């Protein structure tokens, strides 16, 4: 699990840098949600110690929602800020679409999910992009994104899912997409994975997860993830019996805000896990485990 513990001044500066970087890439930020997030983090940076009870009551729910996405934009910026702009065309297009949509994700409708869907694709690419460790995002992938690691090219289809009723249809669609892409590739080093973002299923109202300390938080989140995989893994394992054996499994992620009583700080945390397809080779399991370990 990743727990971001920067103070609000640092988060504000990083987010300001991320917005400036996106502007330089040609992303039109306008006065939409990225602007609202910037205003929100600035207010809390300056006032979190002295905010009145009414301020907390009126603005804190929006602040929690804003912080979730602020960290996503920062992660994308930090992963790709040193790449040459001409190599980032696909990321730029995802960001241009990803900055749109309602301010709070809890206000999404089936017609307004597109923006955050593209943002998740860019975020996944950013999370796996670790050139210093020999892992690179394939920035011109035919799939939603891709990963170059060792001798393998792993094609990734990303799905954000808001209700458990949509897990099967989304995994099936993603697997069908991967089947088609893999069949067109030459060579034996091509694999596929499905990436699921399930925050809306696990925390539809952006509620805070309260913990005594980081260790307690980590244990709680591990249980949430284990329970999710145990409950739903039979769905995708059944689908995989019909699909190419080069589809290796599922990567699952969710994020949330938590209060750490020990540090008296609101923290952003994200959890990433892999559920390998049953029957894949040990080397392929290790490949997936190493991939998630680097996120």
Q: Which of 255, 283, 248, 253 is nearest to 269 (CA)?
A: 255
> pLDDT at position 17, please?
98
Does residue 203 register a pLDDT over 80?
yes
- Residue 219 makes CB contacts below 8 A (sequence gap 6+) with none
H or E, element range at 266: strand 265-276
> pLDDT at position 256, please?
87
If pLDDT is split at 50, 70 and 90, which confidence band does 57 have? low
Q: Which residue has the higher pLDDT, 268 or 147?
A: 147
Distances from the Cα of 250 to the Cαs of 38, 71, 150, 236, 276, in angstroms? Answer: 33, 23, 20, 8, 6
**Counting every residue, how long is the chain?**
295
**% of the chain surpassing 70 pLDDT:** 93
Asked whether 80 and 129 are in contact (CB, 8 A), the reply is yes
Render the burial of 91-117: b for 16+ CB within 10 Å, e for the rest.
beebbbbbbbbbbbbeebeeeebebbb
Does residue 2 register a pLDDT over 60?
no
> pLDDT at position 190, please?
96
For 117-165, the pLDDT digits (tens) are 999 999 999 999 999 988 999 999 999 999 999 889 999 999 999 999 9
Q: Which residue has the higher pLDDT, 256 or 264?
A: 256
- Range 28-53 average pLDDT: 83
- Range 101-122 average pLDDT: 88
Q: Which of 69, 74, 123, 135 is nearest to 94 (CA)?
A: 123
If pLDDT is split at 50, 70 and 90, which confidence band does 186 have? confident
If pLDDT is split at 50, 70 and 90, which confidence band does 25 have? very high
């Amino acid at each position: 699990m990743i727990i971001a513990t920067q103070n609000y001044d640092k988060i504000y500066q990083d987010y300001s840098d991320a917005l400036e970087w996106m502007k330089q890439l040609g992303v039109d930020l306008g006065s939409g949600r990225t602007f609202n997030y910037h205003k929100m983090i600035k207010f809390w940076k300056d006032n979190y110690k002295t905010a009145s009870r009414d301020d907390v009551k009126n603005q804190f729910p929006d602040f929690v929602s804003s912080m979730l996405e602020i960290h996503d934009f920062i992660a994308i910026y930090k992963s790709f800020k040193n790449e040459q702009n001409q190599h980032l065309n696909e990321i730029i297009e995802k960001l241009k679409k990803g900055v749109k949509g309602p301010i709070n994700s809890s206000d999404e409708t089936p017609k307004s999910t597109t923006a955050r869907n593209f943002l998740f694709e860019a975020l996944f690419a950013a999370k796996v992009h670790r050139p210093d460790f020999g892992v690179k995002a394939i920035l011109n992938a035919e799939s939603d994104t891709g990963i170059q690691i060792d001798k393998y090219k792993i094609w990734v289809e990303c799905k954000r899912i808001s209700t458990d009723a949509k897990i099967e249809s989304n995994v099936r669609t993603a697997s069908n997409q991967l089947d088609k892409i893999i069949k067109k590739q030459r060579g034996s080093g091509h694999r596929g994975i499905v990436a699921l973002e399930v925050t809306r299923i696990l925390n539809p109202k952006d509620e805070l997860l309260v913990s005594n300390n980081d260790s307690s938080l980590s244990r709680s989140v591990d249980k949430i993830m284990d329970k999710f995989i145990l409950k739903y893994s039979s769905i995708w394992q059944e689908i995989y019996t019909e699909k190419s054996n080069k589809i290796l499994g599922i990567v699952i992620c969710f994020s949330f805000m938590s209060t750490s009583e020990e540090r008296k700080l609101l923290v952003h945390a994200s959890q990433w896990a892999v559920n390998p397809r049953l029957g894949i080779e040990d080397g392929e399991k290790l490949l997936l485990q190493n991939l998630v370990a680097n996120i």
